[in-house]
Amino acid sequence: MKIVDYLSINTISYPENFLINKNNSDQNNMIWRMAKKRKISHRTYIITFKSKEFELNPVWEKAEWLGKHFKASIMVKSSLTNKYTTISRYYSCIFVDLDSWKQEVSDEGSEITELTRNDVKGLSFIIKVYKGGIMTEYLKSLAKNEKIALKGPLGPGLSVDNLSGEFIAVAGGTGLVPFLDLVHYIWVNRNNPHEFKLTLIVSFRRKKDVFAYDLISATERAVNSNIFKFVLIVSSKKQKPCLRELLIENGKQKPKKAWVCGPSGFNSFVAEVLMQSGLERQNIIIM
């Protein structure tokens, strides 16, 4: 067997039905169009895309679908060479519709800061726009119906077969995105017995960056604390000792897996502290 054949066998294939692929088109080079864009916190936007050929399955059917991401590509003209080059970045995928979830939480009597009705269903990304950020400034500038090339869904995601056992998820900023479906699962099953237990630790640099807080805290209030614990840390520098302590304490509980998602420096800090707490490296999934 040639090495290229071997490598292609080992790449993760696209999970069937994750995207409803109406014409059996190529998922390596899909064209999606911007359908809706909404600000959800300072510099953070939820952007929904639609496509004539593809639809996101309205529900996740398998736990292994969770936490996957898409590769977004655009052509950018270099100011130095005047030549176009392709720029690609990755964005996590979520199934839960935050607006419908907000409505459910509000119907249960919890206060929600801003209620909006979702009239557009599609593939949504939550992005933080950076000043000078090539892709995020581009995504923010997209007008309705403007195009983006996407490839995916990619990656091993949360690497779980089923939601059973105790887990911890540690997120830095928009690293929270792949965990929102898990919190929603707990919300949906708040009155049903299930085997999934989660501690979610989320760290944001500034209070104004925080998003999805209402939904996560409403879920925390709706279930017993041995099912779901939520810790929000704001201001990473001052609270680094607090994050370290929390990680040590939670790592010692020997969760089945610890998922870590954030900027690379954050990920390596969290993984290192979790290993110091006695958690084995193979049970730490850096996303």
> Looking at beta carbons only, is 179 or 196 nearer to ligand FAD?
179
The annotation status of 36 as a binding-site residue, yes or no, is: no
Which range, of 2-10, 77-85, 105-113, 119-127, touches ligand FAD by CB under 6 A? Answer: 119-127
Touching ligand FAD, residues 244-273 (CB under 6 A): 263
Site for ligand FAD (CB under 6 A): which residue of 27, 136, 199, 267?
Answer: 136
Distance set, CA 189 to CA 2, 17, 62, 79, 167 (Å): 48, 24, 16, 53, 17
What span, in angstroms and rounded, lies between the C-alpha atoms of 212 and 201?
Answer: 13
CB–CB of 138/60 below 8 Å? no
Please indicate if the annotation marks 126 as binding a ligand: yes
Q: What is the DSSP letter of 64?
A: G
Max Cα distance, the chain (Å): 61
Pick one of 90, 194, 213, 286: the residue that binds ligand FAD (CB under 6 A). Answer: 90
User: What's the rounded Cα separation, in Å, for the pair 155 and 65?
Assistant: 10
174 binds ligand FAD (CB under 6 A): yes
Residue in 47, 66, 96, 135 binding ligand FAD, rule: CB under 6 A: 135
Cβ proximity to ligand FAD: between 170 and 177 the closer is 177
Count the Cβ atoms, other than its own, within 10 Å of residue 17.
Answer: 11
30 is in an annotated binding site: no
Nearer to ligand FAD, 11 or 192 (CB): 11
Look-up: residue for tokens 């898990």? Answer: 182
Select from 55-63, 130-138, 156-164, 251-259 the region that touches ligand FAD (CB under 6 A): 130-138
Nearest CB to ligand FAD, comparing residues 84 and 130: 130
Please state the closest distance from residue 201 (CB atom) to ligand FAD, in A. 18
| C-alpha span between 55 and 17 (Å, rounded) | 9
CB of 122 or CB of 251, closer to ligand FAD: 122
8-state DSSP, 283: G
Q: Is 131 in contact with 43 (CB distance < 8 Å)?
A: no
**Does residue 126 bind ligand FAD (CB under 6 A)?**
yes
Asked if 140 interacts with ligand FAD (CB under 6 A), we say no
Cis check for the bond before 153: say yes or no (omega within 30 of 0): yes
Nearest to ligand FAD of 45, 54 (CB atom): 45
Interaction of residue 12 with ligand FAD, rule CB under 6 A: no
Pairwise CA distance, residues 27 & 90, whole Å = 15
- Identified binder of ligand FAD from the candidate list 121, 128, 221, 229, rule CB under 6 A: 128
Nearest residue relative to ligand FAD (C-beta): 133
Give the angle subtended at the CA of 231 by the CAs of 245 and 113, to the nearest 5°.
155
Query: In this structure, are residues 87 and 123 in contact, taking their beta carbons and an 8 Å threshold?
Result: no
Residue among 230, 273, 276, 277 nearest 253 (CA): 277
Report the interface residues with ligand FAD, using CB under 6 A: 69, 89-92, 125-128, 130, 132-136, 174, 177, 263
Known binding-site residue numbers for FAD: 126, 128, 135
